[in-house]
A = this chain, B = another copy of it.
Amino acid sequence: MSTQLTETQLLKQLKPLIADKYSSAVASLLEAHRAEDIAEIFWELELEDAKFLIKVIEKDKAVEVIRCLDDEIQERLFKEYPAREIADDVISYLDSDDAVDILNLLPTRKAEEVISYLEDQEYAKNLISMLHYDDDVAGGLMAKELVKVKFNWTVSQCVEEIRKQAEEVTAVHAVYVVKDNDVLIGVVSLKDIVLAKPHASVVEITKEEFISVNAYATGEEVASIMNKYSLIAIPVVDGMKRLIGRITIDDVVDFIKEEADKDFQLQAGLSESVDSSDKIWILSRARLPWLMVGLLGGLGSSALVSNFEGDISHLPQMAFFMPIVAAMGGNAGVQSSAIIVQGLANNTLKSKNILPKLTKEFTVALLNGLICSALLLSWNLLIGHSYDLSIVVSIALITVVIFASLLGTITPLVLEKFKIDPALATGPFITTINDVIGLGVYFTLGRLLLGGF
């Protein structure tokens, strides 16, 4: 399954044909490829060529391709099309969840215009009701397309309903059983429908112990519930327990990835989700906040070090080890906090028993600090630094590693307690604090142990 190779080859064959606007050849070349694969090559196309490709591909597949495109490309592309075309050629062919994703990319006025052109009034109403939800809550993630049956139906009535909905609902997964007022009372698996007698009543095979989510549950909650209970689809209900949609696992897989991406970005000091293809000022804006934190921390460090100006001019060697003390503090702090942040994210850590965690962290830090300090001491003595200075540097190193580890452990736990994303603690924030504190420890120790140098 080397899709990567196919894509490169495909692109190579495609480019000259597109350049020549050789429609029939392009169409026949793409016929053998899946929409998901065709969508990938759009990354490498100019806007004009992308539009040409969509015009050339057979209608149903073109819609699939558009659905599979990355948001970014979709957004760029839809700027080029009038609302009427978007409504008739794209939105009216899509499942409601995919349609809403696209409508959310358009400016509000254009989205409203697109909806006004839709011929299916029921569908238009559904889309409007879904647009009320943020795109990261269950109501924004769900699709309206599902198979819904009444509790007093027979299995063969169920099968009829599936047949009726078959064209709209691509993947059925399960059938949802409701009372007259649409209140969800249970779920029937397709397997049980296959195995039941046609005249059996639906209630007989209905599983009444099921898991649903409220329309305002966050995407993160939905993802964690579906993951925990190994669900491939989950019904979404409103405040009165009425069935209003369902979410399938594929939409949530994306969400799990997005969440993981967010932690990674916070750790790297990016304040918003960016992509290397974003505009320059967006890329700059995402990075500036954390650079400012670094700048402030740096000013703190320089103010701190300036208190030791006299000591440095007496013993300039003190400056040699400033980078090592600051860097080791930063590294040790980030390591500790990352372990805690990950434990919190995976729910394998409860924030109550803090003391044993701190004791353990202290032991690990002491061990690592000792090893690093011993190595550093040997090296410093070997290359002929003064005995006193070498001792000060090594004691400072142990102290800083221990201190940074404890701070790295406590900070995410405290942030979690105050409902702030603990991943903040793994980023430049903790590195910066540890820089300042580490240098403070180092110079203070120096002054104390080297007696004003």
Given the interface pairs A267-B267, A302-B323, the reply to whether A339 lies near B290 with Cβ below 8 Å is: no
B309 touches A323 (CB 8 A): no
**A276 touches which of B326, B357, B401 (Cβ 8 Å):** B357
Bound: A349/B347 CA distance, A: 32
Bound: A325/B70 CA distance, A: 38
**A280 touches which of B72, B364, B379, B428 (Cβ 8 Å):** B364
**A195 touches which of B163, B250, B297 (Cβ 8 Å):** B163
B249 touches A1 (CB 8 A): no
One of A16-24, A47-55, A85-93, A258-266 at the interface = A258-266
A63 at the interface (CB under 8 A from B): no
* Docked complex: A327-352 residues within 8 A CB-CB of B: 327-328, 330-332, 334-335, 337-343, 346-350
**A298 touches which of B290, B328, B360 (Cβ 8 Å):** B328
Count of residues in A whose CB is under 8 Å from the partner chain: 125
Bound: A162/B211 CA distance, A: 25
A230 touches B213 (CB 8 A): no
Bound: A217/B3 CA distance, A: 13
Number of copies: 2
Bound: A163/B265 CA distance, A: 49
Bound: A305/B321 CA distance, A: 9
Which 6 A-B pairs have CB atoms at the shortest separation, nearest pair first?
A298-B324, A268-B338, A260-B260, A301-B323, A230-B250, A312-B316
Which residues on A are within 8 Å of B, measured CB to CB? 1, 3, 34, 36, 40, 43-44, 70, 72, 159, 162-163, 166, 171-173, 189-191, 193-195, 211-214, 217, 221, 225, 227-230, 232, 249-250, 253-254, 256-257, 260-261, 263-265, 267-270, 274-277, 280-281, 283-284, 287-288, 290-292, 294-295, 297-299, 301-302, 305-306, 309-310, 312-313, 316-328, 330-332, 334-335, 337-343, 346-350, 357, 360-361, 363-364, 367-368, 371-372, 375-376, 379, 401, 426, 428, 431-432, 435-436, 439
